[in-house]
Amino acid sequence: MTADVFLPATYARGVPYARFRELRDESPVCRIGEPAVGPWPPGPGFWAVFRHADVKHVLRSPETFSSHLGATQLRDPDTEADLHFVRATMLNQDPPGHSRLRRIVAASLTPRAVRELEAVIDARARALVDGAAGRGEADFVALTADLPIRTLAHILGVPQEDGALIYDWANRIIGYQDTDYARSDTAARDGLTPMGRDALARRPAPRTRPDGHPVNPRSREALADMFHYAHALAGRPVPGSVMAIMREGGLTRDEFEMMFFLFAVAGSEAPRNALPGGMLALLDHPGQFALLRSRPELVPPAVEEMLRYWSPVVHFRRTAARDTELGGQRIRRGEKVVVFHPSANRDERVFPDPDRFDITRSPNDHVSFGFGPHFCLGAHLARAQMRALLRAVLDRMPGLERAGEAVRLTSNFQNGLKRLPVRW
């Protein structure tokens, strides 16, 4: 098959929903090429999975489709050492190892724990919107990015002054395919704590391997500044913070570093992508936006529809742990199997009229937070942030509308916007 659904440039133009529909109908499990992209080398290709039922089957079956064998990023780690390192995160573990790591931090992100945080989240969302309300215009992407960063800083015990470090780490790691994000450097040295300034001084310069290809942005070498900061923070954790829980949880050095990686980077991406993307959907469907303004009690189902309609993550990878069959295709042990969330979330076998944006849609069985043992640990937190910011916008930004063209992130992994000009 052609590699169009793999290439980052495809997503810079827009998620290829029409192409996904063709593949769901004609080749719901198919072989996709993995050509070189810029300086990044080609890969061996992978099995792509497009239907909702098949995506769920893959995600709930770790005994057949492993998160551990090849890790969960589509691109293979550069070396065995890199693979060994990234396997230390619970994202790249299978049960029972995954279950052990998840239990250590799960109590801090239960629905009850998030409810206790909601007053803090609501206050911060309103402060952000109030701070911009008098200007009458803003970049909605920049406006919303601050909320997940500040929320993560709060639960990790990171001083708020160092929040810009989290923002840059996430951009560099998640947005490495986009030239605007790959070298993100927004943290002003004078505004950081001494601990933050020390980490900033250790930020690695962009490097290449002996073969001329870039160093993997998820390798220990590329993340030296973030891990130095994590260890410094662990030396004086805020009581009750996730960092304190991790310090007391019996984690190995690799597990501790990758747990911090998971919270600090992955923890911000769902709301950072889904809030601007969901707002763009509302702005492009004025009838639905008017309905939401007239019935603010629809905010919770509106958030679920925003997550379905604008899936924040494009794909996740598994590796076949044994020979198997899926969608009529024979898959061999060791081959990559990649599920596509935006396709599953538009599967007409599950969602009537799936290309229609409907904030009253029920049921709404989207897979934007995954499914099975790896269902997103931060789903409750992401939803709480989306609801809080949406309510603040409804209250304080009357007449909200587009003020220019949205600019998409170049990434085949994150479905994100870089800019969304709005006025009110």
Considering all CA atoms of the chain, what is the largest pairwise distance in Å, rounded to the nearest integer? Answer: 60
Contact present, 101 and 255 (Cβ < 8 Å): yes
The encoded tokens of residue 351 equal 């969602």
Is the torsion defined by CA of 292, 296, 297, 302 positive or negative? positive
CA distance 157 to 160: 9
The encoded tokens of residue 113 equal 């724990």
Contact present, 312 and 414 (Cβ < 8 Å): yes
- What pLDDT was estimated at residue 407? 97
Beta-strand ranges (E) seen in 19-90 are 29-32, 46-49, 65-66
Q: Is the per-residue pLDDT at 1 higher than 70?
A: no
Quickly state the pLDDT bin for 205 (edges 50, 70, 90): confident
All structural domains of the chain: 8-423 (1.10.630.10)
Q: Average pLDDT of the chain?
A: 94
State the average pLDDT over residues 216-244. Answer: 91
Percentage of the chain lying above the pLDDT 90 cut: 85
CA distance 107 to 113: 7
Q: Can you name the residues that pair with 280 across neighbouring β-strands? A: none
What single string gives the DSSP state of each residue in 50-68? -SHHHHHHHHT-TTTEESS
The burial class, CB within 10 Å (0-12 / 13-18 / 19+), for 399 is exposed
Quickly state the pLDDT bin for 83 (edges 50, 70, 90): very high
State the average pLDDT over residues 320-339. Answer: 98
- What pLDDT was estimated at residue 209? 82
- Say if residue 363 is preceded by a cis peptide, omega within 30 of 0: yes
Q: What is the pLDDT of residues 368-382, one digit of tens each?
A: 999 999 999 999 999
Is the torsion defined by CA of 374, 378, 384, 390 positive or negative? negative
What single string gives the DSSP state of each residue in 110-147? SHHHHHHHHHHHHHHHHHHHHHHHTTSEEEHHHHHHHH
* Least confident interval from 56-70, 150-164, 200-214, 295-309: 200-214
The encoded tokens of residue 120 equal 């803090």
State the average pLDDT over residues 66-75. Answer: 96
Q: Is the per-residue pLDDT at 238 higher than 70?
A: yes
Q: Is the per-residue pLDDT at 216 higher than 70?
A: yes
Q: Which residue has the tokens 């396709």?
A: 343
Of 81, 108, 86, 72, which is closest to residue 249 (Cα–Cα)? 108
Check: pTM over 0.85? Answer yes or no: yes
CA distance 387 to 13: 28
CA distance 18 to 214: 33
The number of C-alpha atoms within 13 Å of 233 and in the hemisphere containing its C-beta is 30
Q: What is the pLDDT of residues 151-178, one digit of tens each?
A: 999 999 999 999 999 999 999 988 999 9
Radius of gyration of the chain (CA): 21
Quick one: DSSP state of residue 78?
A: S
Q: What is the pLDDT of residues 40-54, one digit of tens each?
A: 899 999 999 999 999
Quick one: DSSP state of residue 8?
A: H
Contact present, 76 and 218 (Cβ < 8 Å): no
What are the CA-CA distances from residue 235 to residues 28, 195, 231, 239 (Å)? 50, 11, 6, 12
- What pLDDT was estimated at residue 186? 92
Residue type, 244: A
CA distance 237 to 28: 48
Q: Is the per-residue pLDDT at 116 higher than 70?
A: yes
Of 29, 90, 79, 93, which is closest to residue 57 (Cα–Cα)? 29
Read off φ and ψ for residue 278, nearest 5 degrees: -65, -35
Strand 46-49 to strand 336-340: parallel, antiparallel, or no bridges (unpaired)?
parallel
